[in-house]
């Protein structure tokens, strides 16, 4: 069965440091790829998405993600985190064969002052 | 801005009660979704609807039903609430490409079943 793996349940980063959140999926073809963020007390919001074209995608709030077909990965990055980035981040993948959206379990980002 | 609203932020119900969770979107979206979110499990799809009066089961439909009588409104019904349905419930909507579109989420309803 297709799956999406976010290997880190929690990540702690100092404010101002760089961030990389990992996402791997199991599927042969190129899927549609999404990163969503859930800030405390708020609904999920799309950060960025990849369907085709340039494999480096820019999103909102200074985030970017890179699709690497050879590694079946779509890792999320930010060069310098802010305290307001503390949230839970979800990777999601649409498999073209049945157009279902498969979600990762999420990574909770904690920011150290 | 797309707005998805959910009828309650917090709800406490007793085992066996019938529970209605309502969701309204204001963007004329064709597709609407109900998920439950549990720690460590991510989001799991309960039901979705691609048109008025149309519905499809998701990954975990057991114990739930849905209703979509109007395009903007999608209701989730727990026919007889049980303690294992204590969870966060999220509603979302998207445009006509379904799962391939950006989903817009409501703030969620945290349901406690005693």
User: How confident is residue B93, by pLDDT bands cut at 50, 70 and 90?
Assistant: very high
Test B100 with A99 for CB contact under 8 angstroms.
yes
Phi, psi torsion values for A67, nearest 5 degrees: -85, 125
CB of A70 within 8 Å of a chain B CB? The answer is no
pLDDT of residue B49: 94
Contacts of A87 in chain B (CB under 8 A): none
CB contact under 8 Å between A103 and B42, yes or no, is yes
pLDDT value of residue A28: 67
Q: Name the DSSP class of B88.
A: E
Position A24 scores a pLDDT of: 95
Give CA torsion, residues B48, A38, B41, B88, to 10 deg: -60
* Helix count and strand count (H, E) for chain A: 0, 12
Q: What is the C-alpha to C-alpha distance for residues A67 and B37, in angstroms, rounded to an integer? A: 26
Tell me the average pLDDT across A96-111. 85
Cβ contact (<8 Å) for B98 and A41? no
Tokens of B114: 């005693």
A49/B102 Cβ within 8 A: yes
Q: What is the pLDDT of residue A2?
A: 75
Find out whether A93 and A28 touch, Cβ atoms under 8 Å. no
- Mean predicted lDDT score pLDDT of chain B: 93
Partners of A43 on chain B (C-beta within 8 Å) are: 4, 90, 105-108
């Amino acid at each position: 069965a297709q799956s999406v793996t976010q290997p880190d349940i929690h990540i702690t980063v100092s404010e101002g440091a760089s961030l990389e959140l990992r996402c791997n999926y199991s599927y042969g073809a190129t899927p549609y790829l999404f990163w969503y963020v859930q800030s405390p007390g708020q609904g999920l919001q799309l950060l960025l998405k990849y369907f085709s074209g340039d494999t480096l995608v820019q999103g909102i709030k200074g985030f970017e993600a890179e699709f690497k077909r050879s590694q079946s990965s779509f890792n999320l990055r930010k060069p310098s985190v802010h305290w307001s980035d503390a949230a839970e981040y979800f990777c999601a993948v649409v498999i073209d064969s049945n157009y279902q959206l498969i979600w990762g379990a999420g990574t909770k980002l904690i920011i150290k002052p | 801005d797309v707005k998805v609203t959910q009828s309650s932020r917090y709800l406490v119900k007793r085992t066996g009660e019938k529970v209605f969770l309502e969701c309204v979107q204001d963007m004329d979206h064709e597709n609407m979704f109900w998920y439950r979110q549990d720690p460590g499990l991510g989001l799991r799809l309960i039901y979705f609807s691609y048109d008025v009066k149309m519905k499809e089961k998701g990954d975990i439909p057991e114990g739930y039903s849905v209703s979509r009588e109007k395009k903007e409104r999608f209701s989730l019904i727990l026919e007889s609430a049980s303690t294992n349905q204590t969870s966060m419930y999220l509603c979302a909507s998207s445009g006509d490409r379904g799962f391939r579109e950006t989903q817009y989420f409501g703030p969620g309803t945290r349901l406690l079943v005693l």
